[in-house]
Amino acid sequence: MENSINLKEEYILELRDVSVSYTPGKNAVNMVNAGIKENTVTAIMGPSGCGKSTLLRAINRMHELYPDIKTTGEILLKGKDIFHMNPMKVRRLAGMVFQRPNPFPTMSIYENVIAGYKLNNIKLNKAERDEIVENSLRSVALWDEVKDSMTKKGTFLSGGQQQRLCIARALALKPEVLLMDEPTSALDPISTNRVEELIFELKKQYTIVIVTHNMSQAARLSDNSMFMYLGELVEYGTTKQMFTKPKDKRTEDYLTGVFS
Ligand SMILES: Nc1ncnc2c1ncn2[C@@H]1O[C@H](COP(=O)(O)OP(=O)(O)OP(=O)(O)O)[C@@H](O)[C@H]1O
Ligand SMILES: [Mg+2]
């Protein structure tokens, strides 16, 4: 059907009946369906343990690194099922940023940014490397701060700078989607602000999915929001609608602080 093809191409990322289980017979993420459009920011919210990180990690096939974890369903990235793609390529196209900045401790700032190419065995000459490093650091507004100390260890930077370095490391690989798991929860308010401004800027070029416990952050940053509860995607819609007129009682209870 022509219609269904058009529908598929409308989304850069599409989740179909996605479930993840850590223990047989028990789904930490249960039958999630959602389509995400290009150049949007989607916030994933929900109480602790509801499956937010588990869902995010499914999108770049991280669960496969652990043999006991089972993921089922389909995840389409630009219309292609990621489970039929090379997993290394999936992780390049769906870059991940974690809660705690995690620059590689033995590497310099420069080496950190380009690390993904080494891990993927992609050969580049010095000029290409220099260009990628500079562009990536410029994208996260870190270039001016670090351009004279590229050989220093990444861990020498402040927490907020380290997080921007980690975002630069993901961007260096030219991802389609940027997955961020509570990227500011370990940062001070000023660094949080800078990372939020950055996310706003990056939205012009990338599609971002961000897990956050911070509702005002979700309201400030995201176009669309998902509310998860006990592994299920209870509600998914525009952030504006979810915050003003949630459809589900559980979403409303969460947003009004009945449970956290
Ligand atoms: N490695 C693991 N092995 C077994 N169970 C796990 C593992 N990681 C998560 N779980 C379980 O899966 C469920 C979902 O966890 P997940 O970390 O995805 O929640 P979350 O929504 O990200 O929570 P938080 O807001 O606290 O980060 C929880 O019940 C958790 O205990
Ligand atoms: Mg989590």
Residue 77: pLDDT over 90: yes
Q: What is the mean pLDDT of the chain?
A: 94
Q: How confident is the model at residue 10 (pLDDT cuts 50, 70, 90)?
A: confident
Ligand 1 in contact with 20 (CB < 6 A)? no
Ligand 1 in contact with 212 (CB < 6 A)? no
Cα–ligand 2 centroid distance for 124 (angstroms) = 35
Give the number of the ligand closest to the Cα of residue 181. 2
Which residue's CA lies nearest to atom 16 of ligand 1? 51
pLDDT in tens, 185-226: 988 999 999 999 999 999 999 999 999 999 999 999 999 999
pLDDT in tens, 149-189: 999 999 999 999 999 999 999 999 999 999 999 999 988 99
Cα–ligand 2 centroid distance for 74 (angstroms) = 22
Ligand 1 in contact with 51 (CB < 6 A)? yes
Q: How confident is the model at residue 52 (pLDDT cuts 50, 70, 90)?
A: very high
Ligand 1 in contact with 13 (CB < 6 A)? no
Which residue's CA lies nearest to atom 28 of ligand 1? 49
Question: Which domains are seen in the chain, by residue range?
Answer: 2-99+173-255 (3.40.50.300)
Query: Is-above-0.75 flag for pTM?
Result: yes
Cβ neighbourhood burial of 215 (10 Å; 0-12, 13-18, 19+) = middle
Which residue's CA lies nearest to atom 27 of ligand 1? 48
Atom of ligand 1 nearest to the CA of 51: 18
